[in-house]
Amino acid sequence: METKIFDQSQLNEAAAILAEGGLVAFPTETVYGLGASALLPNAVAQVYQVKGRPSDNPLIVHIAEPEQLEPFVDNKHPFADKLMETFWPGPLTLIFSIKKDSLPSIVTGGLSTAAFRMPNNTKTLALIKQAQQPLVGPSANTSGKPSPTSAAHVQHDLAGKIAGILDDGVTQIGVESTVLDLSDPTAPPVILRPGAISKEQLEAVLQTKVLVDQHLVTESEAPKAPGMKYKHYAPNTNVMMVNDQDWSAAMAWAKEQQLKVGVLAGPTIAEQVRFEAAAIYLFFDDSVEAATKGLFAGLRALDESIAELDILFAPTFPESGLGAAYMNRLKKAANQSFFQEN
């Protein structure tokens, strides 16, 4: 199958493919999603297949307007409307309990709940409208690879396996949406996956405590968020996290071990390590926003670097606001390992 690159003028063509059960990757403000009609079980089955994703890991249903929830959701959480009003379209996925059999079980992983999100990308919102159905959209990467933040990443992983990619350049945020569990209308909201909409922002809007659930599920439990059970975001090269004050010690250690080091960093750290690093992936500036935007692209680029690196170093950030989302992804990529002087 030839994977076509669609631009905005070809939205009709892309929407028609989706309506007929084909697969088209779409841009969002977070990462690229692998689109298929959420109402066509055969199309959704292909999504799992081309990604190589375990089929008990449920998908997010992407909608173009809140009214599209109606066929699926009735018993909405009291906080739902306020959150949709404030954060949609945007990087917030909401889990609701759904009407029985309103979605194919292959979408929900057989759960009585489902995840919904209205992405903040005008082309994709238009695509969903034209396809006239909600779209599932897991990140458009091979399962286990960093999520794609450009059409080129999607092509790298899925070329030949999907009908097309709607190209809208590099995604703005760089990590996947915040997943918030609102499935029990009598319980407080629980963050299942941190994203660009932070716990602090949610608490400010709701004027209530928001819980965070990041526990690793056991084999017998169904996973509630990606990465809980399955290895995620892991490049082939080992990754190590480096705290601000530890960069010179980390570089010295690597030299002593004769390791070729790739560094992901903003300009200040890059300047500090530039004579010792074998390759550098430079974030746009020193901010956590720039690091988050560049993290997956940087991991992909250095992982495939012709320098054949032995180890990748990446900077840590305080775990609040967007930093919680950045560190959540980085810790998974680094398998929790921090550089420590001994």
- Would you say 22 or 58 has its CB closer to ligand TXA? 58
Rounded distance, CA 265 to CA 295, Å?
Answer: 9
Number of Cβ within 10 Å of residue 204's Cβ equals 11
- Would you say 109 or 321 has its CB closer to ligand TXA? 109
Rounded distance, CA 188 to CA 202, Å?
Answer: 12
Tell whether residue 174 is a contact of ligand TXA (CB under 6 A).
no
Phi-psi label, residue 109: left if phi above 0, alpha if psi -120 to 50, beta otherwise: left
Work out what residue 172 binds among ligand TXA, Mg ion, none; the CB cut-off runs from 5 to 8 Å by kind: none
- 114, 250, 297, 324: residue in contact with ligand TXA (rule CB under 6 A): 114
User: Can you say how many angstroms the Cα of residue 136 is from the centroid of all Cα atoms in its chain?
Assistant: 14
State both tokens at 313.
């170093």
- Would you say 44 or 269 has its CB closer to ligand TXA? 44
Stretch that binds ligand TXA, among 65-73, 175-183, 209-217, 264-272 (CB under 6 A): 175-183
Tell whether residue 137 is a contact of ligand TXA (CB under 6 A).
yes
Stretch that binds Mg ion, among 61-69, 131-139, 217-225, 261-269 (CB under 5 A): 131-139
Residue of this chain nearest to Mg ion (CB atom): 139
Q: Which of 50, 173, 49, 58 is nearest to 116 (CA)?
A: 58
Tell whether residue 95 is a contact of ligand TXA (CB under 6 A).
yes
- Would you say 155 or 242 has its CB closer to Mg ion? 155
Q: Hey, is 11 helix, strand or coil?
A: helix
Number of Cβ within 10 Å of residue 40's Cβ equals 20
- Would you say 97 or 139 has its CB closer to Mg ion? 139
Tell whether residue 30 is a contact of ligand TXA (CB under 6 A).
yes
- 3, 37, 46, 57: residue in contact with ligand TXA (rule CB under 6 A): 57
Tell whether residue 295 is a contact of ligand TXA (CB under 6 A).
no
- Would you say 113 or 243 has its CB closer to ligand TXA? 113
Rounded distance, CA 205 to CA 305, Å?
Answer: 43
Tell whether residue 178 is a contact of Mg ion (CB under 5 A).
no
Q: Hey, is 208 helix, strand or coil?
A: coil
Tell whether residue 180 is a contact of ligand TXA (CB under 6 A).
no
User: Taking CB under 5 A as the rule, which mask of x and - marks residues 224-243 in contact with Mg ion?
Assistant: --x-----------------
Q: Cα-flanking dihedrals φ and ψ of residue 245, to 5°?
A: -80, -5
Tell whether residue 25 is a contact of ligand TXA (CB under 6 A).
no
Q: Which of 163, 132, 173 is nearest to 27 (CA)?
A: 173
CB-based contacts of 277: which residues, under 8 Å, 6+ apart?
Answer: 251, 261, 262, 263, 270
Angle between helices 122-131 and 11-19 in degrees, nearest 10? 50
Stretch that binds Mg ion, among 7-15, 136-144, 148-156, 302-310 (CB under 5 A): 136-144
Site for ligand TXA in 218-237 (CB under 6 A): 223-226
Rounded distance, CA 107 to CA 37, Å?
Answer: 10
Rounded distance, CA 160 to CA 212, Å?
Answer: 39
Tell whether residue 139 is a contact of Mg ion (CB under 5 A).
yes
Contact positions vs ligand TXA (CB under 6 A)? 28, 30-31, 33, 57-60, 91, 93, 95, 108, 111, 113-115, 117, 119, 137-139, 176-177, 179, 192, 223-226
| Residues forming the site for Mg ion (CB under 5 A) | 139, 226
